[in-house]
A and B are shown apart, each in its own frame.
Chain A
Amino acid sequence: DAKTTQPNSMESNEEEPVHLPCNHSTISGTDYIHWYRQLPSQGPEYVIHGLTSNVNNRMASLAIAEDRKSSTLILHRATLRDAAVYYCILRDSSNFGNEKLTFGTGTRLTIIP
């Protein structure tokens, strides 16, 4: 499975934007970039995903580098409820029916009031 590299931890002030980086230099053409987050004492939840173009949804934005070797999850205005571990995951879409998620250790985001 293609690997991702994320910082272990980040801090951000409340109500400011947060940029969470992810490196995936060995990404293949069929890999989608997925982001999940895990709030304390909960199961992970889906945030956003993309292939080549930048993506926006109600939770966040995903900026993907032109060479696809890195991406950035953007939380436009962080709140205390965004404090969580954020996982960047490559999901191979070519193996239809077995598109498993391989989690790393993620980035622990702390929001400072």
Chain B
Amino acid sequence: EAGVAQSPRYKIIEKRQSVAFWCNPISGHATLYWYQQILGQGPKLLIQFQNNGVVDDSQLPKDRFSAERLKGVDSTLKIQPAKLEDSAVYLCASSHNRGRRVQYFGPGTRLLVL
């Protein structure tokens, strides 16, 4: 079974620029999550999708961050404009919406904002 795919793996941008991350979840997983992990901290949930609907986006900074999951499969997370404090690893995870509901994580995208 293929895992969660993310791209790019690394991105360096200057502040005030825009950036987008892509995630392809495990086939058949209805739930998709985006997390932000700042160095030295645990991951923090930004947004959760169930199919193509948003379940929880309470911690998403909506003035600059946006996310979509068209057709309930792939997802993109965008930051516009980026700030220095957005430097972090952005993790995508997916899970079934039944059973143990284990979350499977991708390798993450490491973002550096200069």
A contacts, CB < 8 Å to B: 36, 41-46, 49, 85, 87, 97-106
Nearest-CB residue, chain B, relative to A103? B42
Chain B residue, CB-CB nearest to A102: B45
B25 within 8 A of A: no
Are the C-beta atoms of B103 and A101 separated by less than 8 Å? yes
Q: Is B43 part of the binding interface, using a Cβ–Cβ cutoff of 8 Å?
A: yes
CA distance A85 to B105 in the complex (A): 15
Is B70 in contact with chain A by the CB < 8 A criterion?
Answer: no
Tell me the count of chain B residues lying within 8 A, CB to CB, of chain A.
24
B97 touches A46 (CB 8 A): no
**Contact, CB under 8 Å: A105 / B41:** yes
Residues of B within 8 A of A36 (CB): 103
CA distance A36 to B105 in the complex (A): 11
Q: Taking beta carbons and an 8 Å cutoff, which residues of B are in contact with A?
A: 4, 33, 40-45, 48, 50, 55-56, 91, 93, 97, 100-108
- What is the predominant secondary structure among interface residues of chain A facing chain B? loop
Chain B residues positioned under 8 Å from A99 (CB to CB): 101
A98 and B48 in contact, given A42-B107, A43-B93, A46-B103 (Cβ under 8 angstroms):
yes
A105–B42 CB distance below 8 A? yes
| 3 A-B pairs closest in CB distance | A43-B105, A103-B42, A46-B102
- Asked whether, in the complex, the Cβ of B105 is within 8 Å of the Cβ of A44, the reply is yes
Task: For B106, give the chain A residue with the smallest CB separation.
Answer: A43
B103 neighbours in A (Cβ, 8 Å): 36, 44, 46, 101
Residue from A43, A45, A49, A102 in contact with B108 in the complex, judged by beta carbons closer than 8 Å: A43
Q: Which residues of A contact B44 (CB under 8 A)?
A: 103
B47 CB → nearest A CB, Å: 10
Q: Is the CB of A97 within 8 A of B105?
A: no
